Amino acid sequence: MQTTDISIKIGGEAGQGVESSGGGFVKALSRGGLFIFGNSDYMSRIRGGYNFYQIRASDSPILCHTSHIHLLLAFNEEAITQHKDEIVKGGAIIYDEDFKIDADSLKARGIQLFPMPLVKFAYESGADRIMANTAAIGTAVGVLEYDFERIAEVITQNFKRKGEAVVNANLNLARQAYTLAKEKYAKNFKFKVSPIPDPPKRMVLHGNQAICLGAIGGGCRFMSGYPMTPASTIIEFLSEKANQFGIVTKQTEDEISAILMAIGASHAGVRAMTATSGGGFSLMVEALGMAGSTETPLVIVEAQRAGPSTGLPTRTEQGDLEFVLHASQGEFPRIILTPGTIEQCFEAGWRSFNLAEKYQCPVILLTDLYLTSAVRSVDKTIFDFSKIPIERGALLDDAALDKLTSDYKRHAITDSGISPRAIPSHPKAVFMTTSDEHDEHGHIIEDAESRIKMMEKRMRKLELAVEEMRTPEVYGVKGAEITLIGWGSTYGALHESVDRLNEEGTKANMVHFVDIWPFPEERVTPLLKEAKYTLCVEGNYTGQLANIIRTCTGIQVDKRILKYDGRPFSADDILLRVKEEVRLHV
């Protein structure tokens, strides 16, 4: 029986090549024209600990992982223990023939067992034991009856730096396992995927890479950061591309230095950013307030992981929304973007710089580990740099400064709250600015009247900025019985949940927020008032978006579906909870 949607999980100990095997398999499937989604789960250890990589492949677009799997590649015995309950009836486990397993109980669950001499093949090929993972991938390709040449291309690419002998050894190993598995097991495994004739070329990337591409297209030329999972791949990616695009990247001694360097670069006129996770952002908050006070454009990527404190450093969560909204002492304008897809990450990557410069304030791009590390195949045409607008706002060029007939006021009081901004270096653009409260010239003040004027001037920016905030996306049927509400990385699981509910006869739609602050109250309120029964789906304990909705609109969502175990939502998770809530509601 042919299926067009299959889920594969690779599990084993750190160091067994789980991540590299998953990444290679993803490439092979994508190059065959299939849509793919891949996500990994790993422990916060340098060595040891159990890891897995899950791949979903289909001939139709997919946006998230699933809670069930069709094929498990077990690199150790623990993988079977961890995931046996996720395997669908008729699904299978590929494992080394020397593993000690409870075969009878697994067969009783309807699971097929495909033992293979994986380690033996590795040794016979003259390779190390660790190369048994290559044999396991070859076995999977054989069981799926997928095109072997696709995986051969990836093996060749991955090992070519080690020389032709290593490439050939791995190819022979994979081919041997592929041939045996196809002959021995393929006929009994009903779940298949096939390459598409003349497959289109798609890019496979994760959210952090998409943000970086957007930032490059948006003119980012400086990035400072201190490595912190899951934000580290941003500075890694930009450092790789630094020479190609004229970007300066700086790994700093800590997060305080990172944000201060980015503020300094932006003050000098360079589009600059920093990136961190919640713990690092905690160190940045005083400097965040300085950027707000001095009205310095600044882009910060805050990639959430589970807290508090160190929490679960390699797990995902959406627990920082209210934190970034209120971070730092006092009140000042800030903009918060919460992309939920690869496409939205790319747009936020360039759009954040436009917003930061137009409104001369910090822009916080809030993501999470799931979005930053899960890969998906996307049409490469979405990354069209020629269509990216560069909007620098009220920036005075040399010609405008030459015409000045009075002293330049960096913080001039204006109706919009946006002061003309000059880049230091021009003789008529010599100015003061300070983190203390100040007057239009930037000089420190303490009188009440000046404070009121400057405070109101800054906050007026939000009245304009709110008009640029994206209206939440509504997807699904009009007049739905159920409305799912979410933000950020829940997008894919919500989207699929809506489709499945409608297919099952329950009219459903979703309202997904990609921009949260300033909150577009006038557009959101009518959307939510039309909803009959609302369920807010969030990866945190308190329902932080639901709290913001109630604060800004007075609307209380009917129910909150919350998850705070460090793992991402799947559509299966959401549907189970939705059906429970609807049954209770009815």
pLDDT tens digits, one per residue of 241-256:
999 999 999 999 999 9
Range from 88-97, 164-173, 488-497 carrying the lowest mean pLDDT: 164-173
CB 214 within 8 A of CB 345: yes
CA 55 – CA 264 distance, rounded (Å): 42
Helix, coil or strand: residue 489: helix
Is the model's pLDDT at 586 over the cut of 60? Answer: no
- Residues above pLDDT 90, as percent of the chain: 87
The domains located in the chain, with CATH, are 5-188 (3.40.920.10), 205-387 (3.40.50.970), 395-465 (no CATH), 469-585 (3.40.50.920)
Is the model's pLDDT at 297 over the cut of 80? Answer: yes
pLDDT, residue 332, reads 98
Name the token pair of 330. 């006092």
- Residue 82: Cβ within 10 Å count: 17
The beta-carbon contacts of 195-200 under 8 Å, at least 24 apart in sequence, are 195/32, 195/33, 195/34, 195/146, 195/147, 195/150, 196/32, 196/33, 196/34, 196/59, 197/33, 198/33, 199/31, 199/32, 199/33, 199/34, 200/33, 200/379
Is the model's pLDDT at 147 over the cut of 50? Answer: yes
Which residues does 357 contact at the CB level (< 8 Å), separation at least 6? 271, 297, 391, 392, 393, 395, 421
> Which tens digits make up the pLDDT trace of 284-293?
999 999 999 9
Confidence of residue 127 (pLDDT cuts 50, 70, 90): low
Give residue 217's Cα distance to chain centre: 18
Residues in the chain, overall count: 586
CB 118 within 8 A of CB 132: yes
The dihedral region occupied by 45, where left means phi > 0, alpha psi between -120 and 50, and beta the remainder, is beta
pLDDT, residue 507, reads 95
Query: Is the previous residue joined to 333 through a cis bond, with omega within 30 degrees of 0?
Result: no
CA 439 – CA 409 distance, rounded (Å): 9
Helix, coil or strand: residue 384: coil
DSSP states of 225-243 as a string? E---TTTHHHHHHHHHTHH
β-bridge pairing 482-487 and 534-538? parallel
Is the model's pLDDT at 267 over the cut of 70? Answer: yes
Place of tokens 């100015």: 431
Q: List the beta bridge partners of residue 275.
A: 301
CB 75 within 8 A of CB 64: no
Confidence of residue 480 (pLDDT cuts 50, 70, 90): very high
CA atoms within 13 A on the CB side of 195: 20
CA distances from 73 to 10, 11, 154 (A): 5, 6, 18
pLDDT, residue 584, reads 59
Which residues does 559 contact at the CB level (< 8 Å), separation at least 6? 533, 534, 535, 536, 581, 585
Longest dimension (CA), the chain: 89
DSSP-based helix, strand, coil % in the chain, nearest 5: 45, 20, 35
CA angle 336, 338, 340 (to 5 degrees): 170
pLDDT, residue 1, reads 39
pLDDT, residue 122, reads 85
| H, E, C per residue of 50-106 | EEEEEEEEECCCCCCCCCCEEEEEECCHHHHHHHHHHEEEEEEEEEECCCCCCHHHH
CA distances from 521 to 54, 530, 557 (A): 39, 14, 15
The residue with greater pLDDT, 237 or 428, is: 237
Give residue 209's Cα distance to chain centre: 9
CB 557 within 8 A of CB 487: no
Is the model's pLDDT at 2 over the cut of 60? Answer: no
CB 228 within 8 A of CB 367: no
pLDDT, residue 159, reads 84
Torsion of CA 283, 287, 292, 295, to 10 degrees: -150
Sign of CA dihedral 350, 351, 354, 356: negative
Span 258-285, average pLDDT: 97
DSSP letter (8 states) at residue 444? B
* Amino acid residing at 377: S
Confidence of residue 4 (pLDDT cuts 50, 70, 90): confident
The residue with greater pLDDT, 120 or 536, is: 536
* Amino acid residing at 535: L
Confidence of residue 585 (pLDDT cuts 50, 70, 90): low
pLDDT, residue 124, reads 80
The pair phi, psi for residue 112, each rounded to 5°, is -85, 145
CB 43 within 8 A of CB 69: no
> Which tens digits make up the pLDDT trace of 403-431?
988 899 999 999 999 999 999 989 988 99
Span 44-49, average pLDDT: 79
